[in-house]
Chain A
Amino acid sequence: MYRLGIDVGGTNTDAVVMQGRTVLAGVKASTTEDVTSGVLEAMEAAISKAGVDRAKITNVMIGTTHFTNAVIERKHINPVAAIRLGLPATACLPPMVDWPNDLREAAGGHGYLVRGGYEFDGREIAPLDLDEIDRIADDLAAKRIEAAAITSVFGPINAEMEKAARERLLRKRPDISVVLSSDIGRIGLLERESAAIMNASLLALSDRTVEAFAKALQSAGLDCPFFITQNDGTLMGAETVKKFPVLTFASGPTNSMRGAAFLTGVRDGIVVDIGGTTTDIGSLQHGFPRQAATVVDIGGVRTNFRMPDVFSIGLGGGSLVRRKSDGQVAVGPQSVGYRITKEALVFGGDTLTATDIAVASGSAQVGSADAVRSLDPALLQAAQAEIAAMLERAVERTRLSPEPVPVIAVGGGSILMPDQLGDLKVIRPENFAVANAVGAAIAQISGEVDRIFSLENGLTRDICLKQAEDEAREKAIRSGADAATIETIEREDVPLAYLPGNATRIHVKVVGEMGGYDA
């Protein structure tokens, strides 16, 4: 029994074949415009390198930045009707008011404000204006808009009005796809609404992409189920991804951090993922990426997803190395990117890159070392020092305590990493270059409950927490988790002041290994 992990990045598509906890083979291929041919190439190469029978592959896990990139590059974005229930409140700021113009145009810029929504205590701001929903339905038909995002004020406390609006809209336009903000995000109207609109704008793309993945697997003779990794490093079934593509937005850094934790056995440390153009730095706590506390910007739009707290610096294997007018040596942020195999000195090009520095200093063997033998030693030394200083500053910024936690270097560009950063020791796991695909392959199944419980009639906090935990376990098992491996990783209860009936919001999340993991 084997599992296949695939990570589709902006530049590279990586694949690994794993058996239990062992990586049998890992390969890198180029990401292709159509995504699937790159996936097929990487997958086939990994299967043949591992020399395994593909009929014994039981699960395929895919991590993809495809949907994030679509937003960042403003590609494949479909027009959306952004319907907000809240008038007369919120009238001063229409939907998408804080979006960059080009993205708003890509999503069509269709905002509709409707009477409705809730107060913080559950009272209605206004009864839902159903006639207005009917008029919007007609307008969507006239404008040929196929997707809608419905956001009610205080929807996360009560989703009923969003549901009622969806039902009414579908009565006239049964074929459109509708996203409810209460399924996507938390309190914070504009951020949640923006996430719902982005999600709706990507539905056509997610449908096509998931179908294409399915077809690619099928044509490769793999008829096992496949999963896609989400922001928190756990898996979603293919059908869920079709509905919620935004939940994959941060899966790239999450997978590489989870992969780094797995490959080294380190549960608390700092992960440095060095690519061709940038380096992502994040911190591991108990084997999971630490979550960001603030709003996260995606393609210029504020959202309030739970995302790993990762920050990037402009340093990678392809970073340009130059002497500035004041004599100082600068590394990055400009990079030759994927053209490195043509333009770097060691590959016969004429551009001095960070990779050339690593080769010249003897810390890496790629390309031709002869091409960099005549580099000015002073320049070499200054560039090496600058690279080490950039990495050290970045790691210091992420470090949580004076404890000497390990630094794990992963990614194709990690040849730039010295063996020691200040007082911290650097670990380079085997298969470091495909850590993100490993992260996808080992991803777990989660089950989550996030609901308001009423602590009345003998119900105590403990009883409700237990009930929420049981529900979350049940969900995880239904999604394919092995019951024996399930553990609770998040448990919080927030008393909601002002709400009648001792209302408490309880959020529980459990994770477990994919069934058959150790088989």
Chain B
Amino acid sequence: MMLDRTSNRWRLDEGMIEALEIGSGILGTGGGGNPYVGKLRARQALREGYTMEIMPLTDLPDDAKVVSLGGIGAPLVSHERIKEGREGLRCVRALEERLGIKVDAIACEEIGGQNSMEPLITAAMAGLPVVDCDGMGRAFPEMQMTTYSIYGHRSTPSVMCDPHGNVVIFDHAISEVWHERMARACVVAQGGASTLASAPMSGEFVKQFAIPDSYTKAISLGNAVLGARKANRDPVEAVCANEGGKVVFRGKITDLKRQLAGGFVRGEAIIQGFEAYEGDEAAVHIQNEFLIFSRNGTVEVIVPDLIVILDADSGAAITTEMLRYGQRVAVLAIPCHPLLRSPEALEVVGPKGFGFKDVVFKPMSTEQEA
């Protein structure tokens, strides 16, 4: 296969990495881990002379071999036991050796949160481009929740690497959920934060089933926030304008329930409205990410549509662990990509996939409120 060298690829610089940190933080919808350490690693790689190239999805040849990868494990561990640095590269090389192929491009599993950075760093070290796409368009807690898996890609053989130099190949999983289950067990043995690269996809498949333009969008989202802050405009409005989303609520957090259950953070935040929302009460259901928004008891926004909570003044993204009593927040709803709204996608990433038996997904209203 030949990649077209005269294509529309573009290079990332440090300013774009800063914007990506903000944009992917917002797209994390409360979860996905903090991209700060990843940003530092990406910046360090640029300073060491590596180049990071983004390739538009449409430039991808049909027969290209595309590997998607990302970190797996506990975000807490990844902030304490920081990676060795070449885990992703070892994954790609091991996969190439196992399959006797050459990988042509790297793809992103999850643009929301810290997994936005790993593909850039690995691709830079491998001398490969990163395709402008991802498998979620946001953050989700588990690996089978990508459009890649939902639309038929089988992730094995896959490779998981840790900082020590251990390389594990998952040769075959009978289902995507089994792959997730075995990978979780292995990551604990490896110390709680590893990197995993999945079996290659064809360019043709990726063009059809990946969420397109993820890096372009996340960087432009970050730049919109930075620009608004600089010009003293409302960053919350800037996010909405950039994403085709809308503010569904503004208010103050007045109650917060969070507990650990089965390795996931579950809970609920209650918000009392102010300004135009005075007198209203909203609730946001949390399960690692923000999953369901309801107003005065009526459900209005449902996963996989994006629910984003921002600091009402600074526009900074607030993650589930940063929520606290008294915070002044704006709640935004952003329509998810149509690939996440099909019946087969909703089986996995709709309310049912998260155990909400009584909630049926309906697309959020896109009418702007008064």
Contact = CB atoms under 8 A, between A and B. Distances in A.
A93 B324 contact: no
B81 A120 contact: yes
Given A97-B40, A97-B44, A293-B324, A187 B81 contact: no
Contacts of A190: 37, 40, 79, 82
13 contacts: A86-B82, A88-B164, A89-B191, A91-B85, A92-B85, A98-B40, A123-B191, A125-B81, A125-B163, A154-B81, A187-B80, A397-B313, A497-B260
Contacts of A91: 84-85, 163
Contact of B191 (A92, A93, A119): A119
Nearest to B163: A89
Nearest to B328: A397
Contacts of A188: 79-80
B297 interface: no
A90 B83 CA distance: 5
Interface in A111-149: 117, 119-121, 123, 125
A187 B79 CA distance: 8
B188 interface: yes
Contacts of A154: 80-81
B77 interface: yes
B165 A88 contact: yes
A294 B76 CA distance: 14
Interface string A361-405: 000000000000000000000000000000000000101111000
Given A91-B84, A153-B81, A120 B74 contact: yes
A294 B165 contact: no
Interface string B237-267: 0000000000000001010000010010000
A512 B254 CA distance: 31
The 4 closest A-B pairs by CB, nearest first: A92-B85, A400-B326, A89-B163, A90-B82
A281 interface: no
Given A93-B40, A302-B36, A400-B326, 20 more contacts: A88-B84, A88-B165, A89-B163, A89-B191, A90-B84, A91-B84, A92-B41, A92-B44, A92-B86, A117-B81, A120-B74, A120-B76, A120-B80, A120-B192, A153-B80, A190-B82, A283-B326, A293-B324, A402-B272, A497-B263
Interface in A493-510: 495, 497-498
A126 B110 CA distance: 31
A481 interface: no
B356 interface: no
A187 B322 CA distance: 15
Contact of A89 (B44, B81, B326): B81
A495 B260 CA distance: 10
Contacts of A119: 81, 191-192
B151 interface: no
A288 to B, nearest CB: 15
A189 interface: yes
Given A89-B83, A92-B85, A497-B263, A120 B77 contact: yes
Contacts of B325: 400
Nearest to A188: B79
Interface of A: 86, 88-93, 97-98, 117, 119-121, 123, 125, 153-154, 187-190, 283, 293-294, 302, 397, 399-402, 495, 497-498
Nearest to A291: B324
Contacts of A189: 79-82
B72 to A, nearest CB: 15
B79 A498 contact: no
B191 A120 contact: yes
Contacts of B37: 93, 190
Contacts of B328: 397
Interface of B: 36-37, 40-41, 44, 74, 76-77, 79-86, 163-165, 188, 191-192, 252, 254, 260, 263, 272, 313, 322, 324-326, 328
Contacts of A401: 252, 254, 326
A402 B44 CA distance: 46
Contact of B83 (A92, A117, A187): A92
Given A88-B164, A92-B41, A498 B85 contact: no
B71 to A, nearest CB: 13
Contacts of B192: 119-121, 498
B90 to A, nearest CB: 12
A120 B82 CA distance: 12
Contacts of B260: 495, 497
A329 B272 CA distance: 34
Contacts of B80: 120, 153-154, 187-189
Nearest to B192: A120
A251 B155 CA distance: 53
B67 to A, nearest CB: 20
Given A120-B77, A400-B325, A88 B163 contact: yes
A401 B270 CA distance: 13
A89 B77 contact: no
Nearest to A393: B313
Nearest to A155: B80
Nearest to B327: A293
A119 B86 CA distance: 19
**Residue picked from B44, B325, B326, most chain A C-beta under 10 Å:** B326
B335 to A, nearest CB: 29
A125 B74 CA distance: 17
A89 B84 contact: yes
Contacts of A400: 252, 325-326
B269 to A, nearest CB: 14
Contacts of B326: 283, 399-401
Contacts of A121: 191-192
Contacts of A302: 36
A12 to B, nearest CB: 30
A471 to B, nearest CB: 26
A153 B76 CA distance: 12
Contacts of B36: 302
A118 to B, nearest CB: 8
B323 to A, nearest CB: 9
B191 A294 contact: no
A332 B123 CA distance: 47
B343 to A, nearest CB: 35
**Residue picked from B41, B80, B260, B272, most chain A C-beta under 10 Å:** B80
A497 B192 CA distance: 12
A293 B318 CA distance: 11
A399 B254 CA distance: 12
A189 B191 CA distance: 15
A92 B121 CA distance: 11
Nearest to A186: B80
A126 to B, nearest CB: 8
Nearest to B254: A401
Contact of A93 (B44, B188, B252, B272): B44
Contacts of B83: 89-90, 92
B48 to A, nearest CB: 10
Contact of B82 (A93, A187, A402): A93
B117 to A, nearest CB: 11
B164 to A, nearest CB: 6
B41 A86 contact: no
B125 to A, nearest CB: 10
A144 to B, nearest CB: 29
A498 B188 contact: yes
B174 to A, nearest CB: 27
A436 to B, nearest CB: 24
Contacts of A86: 81-82
A270 B362 CA distance: 43
A407 B328 CA distance: 19
A85 B322 CA distance: 29
